[in-house]
Structure 1
Amino acid sequence: MHHRFLEAYDAQLRTTPETVHASSVSVQGPLHLAVFGGTQGFVTYADLGGADADAIGDLVDEAVAHFQRMPAVTSVEWKTRAHDVAPGLHDALIARGFIPEDAESIMIGEAELLAQHVDVPDGVDIRRATTEDEVISAGRMQGRIFDDAEWRRRVDEVIERMHADESVEFWIAVADGAVVSAGRLEPVAGTEFAGLWGGATDPAWRGRGIYRALTAQRANAAIRRGVRYLQSDSTEFSRPILERSGLIRVSSTTPYVWAPA
């Protein structure tokens, strides 16, 4: 099952599906160089074509040069995967000023296995957000938990995507009139996948099954849309919760971030 999931991930979710919301995309050899929101650069690829360390160093140089020609870009993320064959990539990125951030687990599971009943505390209502105010309230909670000073910009981008694509769903858990847990469901067009993104629960409400129930509701919504697999890049905090829900860790991904001088 692990290998089947990983093969489906590599075949269906890399390159074009990752950059579908980008404002621009340039293809240089195996690299897809994207810009989101006009300021955030992003580097991804299906594989590096068997390149050796010297050739990989050249690819990094080409990517840096590409974004240096774009003065509006303020940071660039190079998305690596632990299962890729990429000799010397870490050293090449570090040597050129990229800084690795925390690794995240690539989690995949069958949507049908995640669509299970989970009890939640009395007074907690789990539902799809239907107004911009609900999405903003959820984003504010997520920004506080992740210490994200850019939370409002990210929420505005999500709202824009929701207006453009009705398949993007934002789910929330509400208690006493406040959003206490939230997460998105984003089906990937042309694939068997949907992504589970932005999952967060207020610390005061953790350990009560709320996030597992939120995941189950998103799984049900995915099944209604004909989705087979659910995928998430998860932190070490959320990974055990997703494992209890039925997702399997198939690999890991580490973002390397570079800011132009």
Structure 2
Amino acid sequence: MVDTAALLTAYDTQMRMPPGAVPAGVRHEHDGPLLRIVGGYVGRLRAPRDVGVSGARLDRLIARQRDYFQARGEGVEWKLRAHDLPAELPERLVAAGFVAERPSTVLIGVAAEVAGDPVLPGGVELRQVTSEEDLRRVGDHQSLVWGIDGSWVSGDLISRVAADPGQITVLVAEAGERIVCTAWSLYHPGTDFVALLGGTTLPDWRRHGLYRAMLAARAREAVARGFRLLHVDASPDSAPILRRAGFHEITTSTHYHWTPPR
């Protein structure tokens, strides 16, 4: 029997603030309990489970973040988990002009239980990529699948590789010269965790086991590097696959976005 309460405690203790090398072009700033991540595609805010203020003091803390990024002409996201405190934080964010995205399911897996040899469809090869050319292809793949401008994905991956290539692994599954699935791992030094991100498959290649193959490959490398736990903020599409692979739901997460007025 898995102790999900212990997994949640480990998550809250180790996964609230990004450790390790800061991506190239990005800087971290602190404002009270908050970490402001500045210089990326959008601003990001990370916080402990309990920010420690409420009422008018909480309103001022939120307003400072919004006003800081408004002065830069940038948007900002505040990542909030379902069990975060104070309980009034979501309504205070909305009152300050933040808009909630659809929640994701936070799932934790034991790396040794997920690791394995990736099973790929015939004609598909899996490889790790590090070159700017390949990382731009990853962004193009994300754009194609999600119908968005994925150039920021390429920029983020390139900056992370430049900052410390040992803290990120980017994988592509290719059928010939066509990328059919992408995924990457962020290794959190000093913690038990590897964050699994970016798992995206072309619609006509879904249900061929590619996402599961990416999980097995990334978990295998996590074990080889000495990491015990895998973390995913999962969409409704990927959450069922992760549960079948042995991941455990511990909470949900929601990004609250503020966008500067045009």
| TM-score for both structures, normalised by structure 2 | 0.90
1:59 deviation in Å? 2.1
Deviation at 1:196, TM superposition (A): 0.6
Alpha-carbon deviation of 1:26?
2.6
Structure 1 position 47, deviation (Å): 2.8
Structure 1: segments with no counterpart, 5+ residues: none
Could you report, residue by residue, the CA deviation over 1:189-209 in whole angstroms, capped at 9, with x for unpaired residues?
221111111110111011111
Deviates more, 1:171-180 or 1:159-168: 159-168
Corresponding residue for 1:192? 192
Amino acid at match of 1:131: S
Aligned to 1:62: 64
For residue 46 of structure 1, give the secondary structure of its aligned residue in structure 2.
coil
2:45 pairs, out of 43, 46, 59, with: 43
Tell me if structure 1 keeps the 8 A contact 2:34–2:51: no
SS of 2:153 mapped into structure 1: helix
CA contact (8 A) 1:41 1:67 kept: yes
Shift in Å, 1:96: 1.3
Runs of 4+ in 1 over 4 A off after TM superposition: none
User: Which residue does 2:84 correspond to in 1?
Assistant: 84
1:64–1:132 Cα change, 3 Å: closer
Deviation larger for 118-127 or 182-191: 118-127
Residue pair 2:112, 2:228 contacting (<8 A) in 1 also: yes
- What amino acid maps onto 1:239 in structure 2? A
Going from structure 1 to structure 2, the CA distance change for 1:154 and 1:130 (only over 3 Å counts) comes to closer
- Assess, with a 3 A threshold, how the Cα gap between structure 1 residues 19 and 235 changes in structure 2: closer, same or farther: farther
**Cα distance in 2 between the residues matched to 1:135 and 1:24:** 22
Moved more, 245-254 or 118-127: 118-127
The alpha carbon displacement at 1:226 in A equals 1.1
What is the match of residue 159 of structure 2?
Answer: 160
Q: Residues 17-69 of structure 1: CA distance to partner in whole angstroms, max 9, x if unpaired?
A: 399437233322212222133x622111113354334432232123223334x
| Residues in 2 aligned to 1:221 and 1:16: alpha-carbon distance in whole angstroms | 20
Does the residue aligned with 1:92 lie in a helix, a strand or coil? helix
Shift of 1:183: 0.3
Report whether the alignment pairs 1:32 with 2:35.
yes
Aligned to 1:226: 226
5+ residue gaps, structure 2: none
Q: How does 1:118-129 map to 2 (within 5 A)?
A: 118-129=118-129
Aligned equivalents of 2:64, 2:253: Cα separation in 1: 22
**How far apart, CA to CA, are the structure 2 residues paired with 1:135 and 1:26?**
28
Q: Distance in 1 between matches of 2:18 and 2:117?
A: 34
For 1:17, what is the secondary structure of its paired residue? Answer: coil
TM norm structure 1: 0.90
- Number of residues paired by the alignment? 257
Q: How does 1:137-152 map to 2 (within 5 A)?
A: 137-149=137-149, 151-152=150-151
